[in-house]
Amino acid sequence: MKSVKKWLNDNSAKPQHSSSASGKGDDNKPSQRPSPQKQKPFSKGPGHQNRRPKRPYPSKKTSRVIPYKPSHKPAPRPSPKPQGTVPQAGGFPIRVYPLGGFEQIGRNCFVVEVEGDIYLIDLGLQFPDEGMLGIDYLIPDISSLSGRENKIKGIFFTHGHLDHIGAAQHLLPKLHYPPCYGTKLTMAFIKKRLDEEKITSKANLNTVPYGQKIRIGKIEVEFLKVTHSIPDSAAVAIHTKYGTIMHTGDFKFDLTPTSEEPADFQKLADQSKNGVLAIIADSTNANKPGFSKSEAEISETLFKMIRDAEGRLIISTFSSLLNRIHQVVAHAQKFNRKIFISGRSMETNVEIAQNLGYLKAPRGLIRKAGPAMDKLPDNQVIIITTGSQGEEMAGLARIGLGTHRHIGVKKGDTVVLSSNPIIGNERAISKVINNLNLQGAKVKTNAEFALHTTGHGMQQDILLMHQLVRAKHVIPEHGEPHMRAAHAELARKIGYPDNRIHMMTNGEILEFDAKGNSRRSKQKLTLQDVVIDGYGSAGEGQRIMDDRKIMSSNGVIVIALKAYAESKRLVGDPDILSRGLIYGSEQTEITGEAIKIAKKAYEESLNRGESDRKELKRAVNGALFRFFDRKLNRKPMIIPIVIEV
């Protein structure tokens, strides 16, 4: 296969994407990296300029969208507001920008604007790290779309993992329920999340078959088969009259998948025939050489473990890793073992997969964990549970602690962790493994055996995708900065100049003119961390997390001051309540000093003429902060309360 660099030299002209056009785009600037003398943008081959150009959208065949719930009507969408947060750029009909997923793993959300119409790709969540105390997860900040909800023509979902669909139930209402499109399993998972919030009847959910172009507003969209760690994964091709915007989603090239067809190489290659303006491509494993390992290799390891296990097998994996669960089910049949499912998300996903035919098993083979397990011989039992990342409330952690309602470790049990530790979870996983060993289980992990493979392509997978699609511009996405930097370096190695590789961050806007030239917008969207905490959400997520860090390491002081409503003079001494800061014999002494200092600071501020409650509280706060810093070398959170009587 030719490199892109060589292919560029062999094909010297393509009128539609000529970079010699005038404009302010990056393509008119010299590259920072030396490139071949005759290097030109991607073309359709010699002699293309002499042919009559094809119509961008063939009308021979009408594709059909299958409504997910044809019986209900979507909720009416409000009329437009007069202004939007992101202004339109004249002469640059295509604008793309990420609202998440470009500086972290998760929170994936990418926006494509075509002549003012808006299309979103994915609405994902991000799981918290160790420093995000009490946070359930984070979701994309969509405030930049406020006032332009009527311009949103569709949301395209690439696959059913939570980092791509997990924010749907929170954001669809805020976006006024635009039409949603995805493959069958993906839309079933989204529907389940909406069902839990009782908002499914308001949504407009549509399932789309692979490989058919669907007209939506000013574009046609096409879902292309790729392989990942969950069935029905897709790359999304947005076809415009200016070229195709291609989003790979999460992908790898598995030539021997165990429960689905391989990627559609032909359809991916066909995209290059009509010109791919830009590819937004997965960068997760861009710093790892070679091709990703096939699921077939993991299947062999699981087969041997199930065959050789003398007692029960407890297998822990991600609840959405349906390809892995399919392998366990297939092997369990061969060795006459029953499968018992533990964990709410695991039960839900297995049920959906069975109902849609993605997980096939004889009646009675798969059951919920319960007392019936104890009635079978141990060598006929396999338990599949959640908790492979050491989550405190997940099934595996509770089994290790001996607090699981139905499952306890027996002598001879083998526990298999069919996953890799996510960065930041190593300590929690190690704790669970230690607890399981103390209970008497034999624990097997991917560090010793081939028990897990990534669902993301490594360097050769990524290079193959670029060789197939041959996009004019490359936008590395889905990963931390060092992962995307490695992806950019791969693109350089196959001939892409620096001004065709766009290292974007969340909120940055890239614009394309009608001839395919690009420029970086001077405007950058200001995005905040939006956190989901219990049933609520908050836009000032960073402030919430900072407050919790202060309380966790320095404690909290609440001081109540009673004052007359008119004169603002204090009534008696303030009351102080402390938590996580002072205990024992020192409490009485330090509390007494703090009361004196707070009272003095309040009265001095009042004597200076201050009567505003906020200013009086600020004076008390500052005085106590300095006192505890000097006295205890601690900086607690201080909450003054003024009660007027």
CB 157, CB 180: distance < 8 Å: yes
Among 122, 282, 413, 461, the one annotated catalytic = 282
Q: What is the C-alpha to C-alpha distance for residues 96 and 299, in angstroms, rounded to an integer?
A: 40
CA distances to 170, 234, 424 from 139, rounded to whole Å, are 8, 22, 19
Q: What is the C-alpha to C-alpha distance for residues 128 and 132, in angstroms, rounded to an integer?
A: 6
Q: What is the C-alpha to C-alpha distance for residues 118 and 155, in angstroms, rounded to an integer?
A: 9
Whether 456 is catalytic is yes
Residues 6 or more apart from 2 whose CB is under 8 A from it?
A: 10
Q: Would you list the DSSP string of 480-519?
A: -HHHHHHHHHHHHHTT--GGGB----TTEEEEE-TTS-EE
Q: Which ranges of 533-585 would DSSP assign to H, the alpha helix?
A: 541-554
Find the length of the chain. Answer: 645
Q: What is the C-alpha to C-alpha distance for residues 168 and 140, in angstroms, rounded to an integer?
A: 10
Q: What is the C-alpha to C-alpha distance for residues 36 and 195, in angstroms, rounded to an integer?
A: 56
Handedness of CA 620, 624, 625, 627 (dihedral sign): positive
Q: % helix / strand / coil in the chain, to the nearest 5?
A: 35, 20, 45
Here the contacts of 64-72 (C-beta below 8 Å, separation 24 or greater) are 64/212, 65/181, 65/206, 65/207, 65/208, 65/214, 66/206, 66/207, 66/208, 66/209, 67/205, 67/206, 67/207, 68/187, 68/191, 68/205, 68/206, 68/207, 69/191, 69/200, 69/201, 69/205, 72/201
Residues 6 or more apart from 248 whose CB is under 8 A from it?
A: 226, 235, 279, 280, 281, 282, 465
Q: What is the C-alpha to C-alpha distance for residues 360 and 338, in angstroms, rounded to an integer?
A: 14
How big is the CA angle at 638 (ends 632 and 640), to the nearest 5 degrees? 135
CA distances to 1, 180, 480 from 286, rounded to whole Å, are 20, 30, 11
- Give which of 534, 389, 477 is closest to 122, Cα–Cα: 477
- DSSP label of 342: E
Axis crossing angle, helix 344-356 with helix 184-197, rounded to the nearest 10: 130
Q: What is the C-alpha to C-alpha distance for residues 410 and 402, in angstroms, rounded to an integer?
A: 11
CB 228, CB 324: distance < 8 Å: no
Q: Name the phi and psi angles at 137, rounded to 5.
A: -170, 175
- Give which of 510, 505, 545 is closest to 99, Cα–Cα: 505
Among 170, 239, 456, 466, the one annotated catalytic = 456
Give the 3-state secondary structure of residue 91. Answer: coil
Residues annotated as part of the active site? 282, 456
